[in-house]
Amino acid sequence: MFIKPAKRTESVQEYYFSRKLKEIASMNEARRASGQEPVINLGIGSPDGMPPAEAIEGLCEAARQHGNHTYQSYVGIPELREAFAGWYSRWYGVDLNPATEIQPLVGSKEGILLISLAFLDKGDKVLVPDPGYPTYSSASRLAEAEILTYDLKEENGWYPDFEELEKMDLSGVKIMWTNYPHMPTGAPASETLYARLVEFGRQHNILICNDNPYSFILNDRPLSILAQPGAKECCLELNSLSKAHNMAGWRIGMVAGNSEIISQILKVKSQMDSGMFKPLQLAAVEALRQGPEWFAELNAEYARRRVLAGNIFDQLGVEYDRTSTGMFLWGKVGTSSGEALSDRILYDAGVFITPGFIFGKNGEDYVRISLCAAPETLKNAAERISKITDLESTAI
C-alpha cells in the first residue's frame, strides 16, 4: 500500500461475520461444483420476514412524490421523531420530547460509533460487556479509548456483578455499554437491573448506553432503561426497526436521551451524512404504528423457530434456556470449545452456527443459533447434523 493507514485501524480487524461470509462463499463454490447443497447459515441475526405492509406501501407512495428525493434534515422529519416518541410512550411508558430528545439514525449500529466519537477522547475508558456485541469494542478502539471489560456470567443470569464493578478502578470511565435483552445470551431485561444501572451511572458519573433492539422479540413486556427515575440524567438508549419490524436492510434506528447529550451526537452525525431518505422516514412512521397483533404474530413464528433450534442443540448435547428472549438461541457445549463444535458442523455438515468466542472470553464454551431462518431451513440443518458420525464425542 502506498499510504500508511491510520494507527487507529491497527486496533481493529475486519468484522468476524464479514470474514466468515467470504469463507462460506468460497465453500459454496466448491460444494456446487461437487453437486452439494450450499451451506446453511444459522449465524447472522438478519430477519427474513416481511416488514409491515403499511410500511412498504408508504415507501412506494412517498417515493412517487415530487420533492421527496432531495437532501433531508439531519435531525429527521418531525413526523418520524413524533412517531418514535409515540412508540416509546405507548410501549415503554417513556415520555420523550420529539424535538430535542430523539435523534433518528441510519440503524442503531451507526449510533454506537457516533456516541463513541462524540464523547471519547484518546485514553478515556469504556466499560464493555463480555460476552457482548463486538462493535462496542471496535467503536471504542476507533475512538482510541481504553476498553475495560466487565464479566457477564451464566451463574449471575448474564447480568453485571455490581460488587465486582465497584472493585474496579473506574477513574476515567466515561461510557458503559449494556444490551438487554442481551445479545448473544438472550437474558431479558428487568426493572431491577435498569434501576441498578441508573444508580451506578449517576454515582460514578458514567454515561450508560443501553442498546435495546431486541425488546419485542419473544418478550411480551418490553422495557426501556429510560423509564427509570433519573435515567435521562445519565443514560442513552439505542433502538431500531431492524428486529421488531423485519426492516434490518432499511437501516432505520434512533437514539434517545437528554437533549444536551443528543445535541452532541448530532454534531458528529451532521458531519457524516446528509439526512435519511424521506420515503424511508415516512415508511418508518407507518411501521411504528403497528399494534399488538403485529408483535403477537411475529413472536409466534419466533417461538416455533426457537423449538426447532433447540432440537439442533439437543442433537449436539448443548445446554440452553428454552425460555430465552431475543432472536438467538445460546447454548453451552461440553468439554470442547464452541469454536471447535462450530467448525466441525460447518465442515462436516455444511451448517454454520456462531462460535461464542467472538463475543468475548466468557463465550468460549458456547455457540449461538440465529432464529432468522425458516422452519424448513432449521429442520434441514437438523437432518444434516444428524448424519454426522461421532458428534457426541465432539460435544461432550
- DSSP assignment of 66-98 equals TTTTS---TT--HHHHHHHHHHHHHHH-----T
Cα–Cα distance, 151 to 149 (Å, whole number): 7
pLDDT for 359 beyond 50? yes
Q: What angle do CA 81, 87, 88 make, to 5 degrees?
A: 95
Is residue 180 within 8 Å of 187, Cβ to Cβ?
yes
Instruction: State the pLDDT confidence band at 9, using cuts at 50, 70 and 90.
Output: confident
The count of other CB atoms within 10 Å of the CB of residue 90 is 12
* Percent of the chain at pLDDT exceeding 90: 90
Entry field: residues in the chain: 396
pLDDT, residue 56, reads: 98
Q: First and final CA of the chain: distance in angstroms?
A: 46
pLDDT of residue 64: 98
- Asked whether 158 and 182 are in contact (CB, 8 A), the reply is yes
pLDDT over 70 (residue 391): no
365-391 residues labelled b (16+ CB within 10 A) or e (exposed)? bbbbbbbbbeeebbebbbebbeebeeb
Other Cβ atoms less than 10 A from the Cβ of 230: the count is: 12
Evaluate if residue 172 carries a pLDDT over 60.
yes
Residue 265 three-state SS: helix
Per cent of the chain over pLDDT 70 is 98
pLDDT band at 254 (very low <50, low <70, confident <90, very high): very high
Between these two residues, 348 and 335, which has the higher pLDDT value?
348
Rounded mean pLDDT, 49-61? 98
**Domains of the chain with CATH codes:** 7-50+293-395 (3.90.1150.10), 69-290 (3.40.640.10)
Q: What is the pLDDT of residues 174-190, one digit of tens each?
A: 999 999 999 999 999 99
Residue 286 or 11, more confident: 286
Average pLDDT score over residue span 225-233:
97
Q: How confident is the model at residue 21 (pLDDT cuts 50, 70, 90)?
A: confident
User: What is the average per-residue pLDDT within 105-129?
Assistant: 96
Banded pLDDT at 390 (limits 50, 70, 90): very low
Pair 345, 380: CB distance under 8 Å? no
DSSP class of 344: H
Nearest to 92 by CA among 243, 256, 247, 202: 256
pLDDT of residue 68: 97
Within 10 angstroms of residue 393's Cβ, the number of other Cβ atoms is 11
Task: Tell whether the model's pLDDT for residue 34 goes beyond 70.
Answer: yes
pLDDT of residue 260 exceeding 50:
yes
Angle, CA of 323, 20 and 139, to the nearest 5°: 80
Kindly state the average pLDDT of the residues 190-211: 98
pLDDT reading at 394 higher than 50: no
Binned at pLDDT 50, 70 and 90, residue 395 comes out as very low
User: Is the pLDDT reported for residue 396 higher than 60?
Assistant: no
Output the DSSP codes for 308-321. HHHHHHHHHT-EE-
pTM score: 0.94
* pLDDT: which is higher, 312 or 4: 312
Q: How far apart are CA 305 and CA 316, in angstroms?
A: 17
Give the confidence band of 75 by pLDDT, cuts at 50, 70, 90: very high
Q: Residue 252: its pLDDT value, please?
A: 97
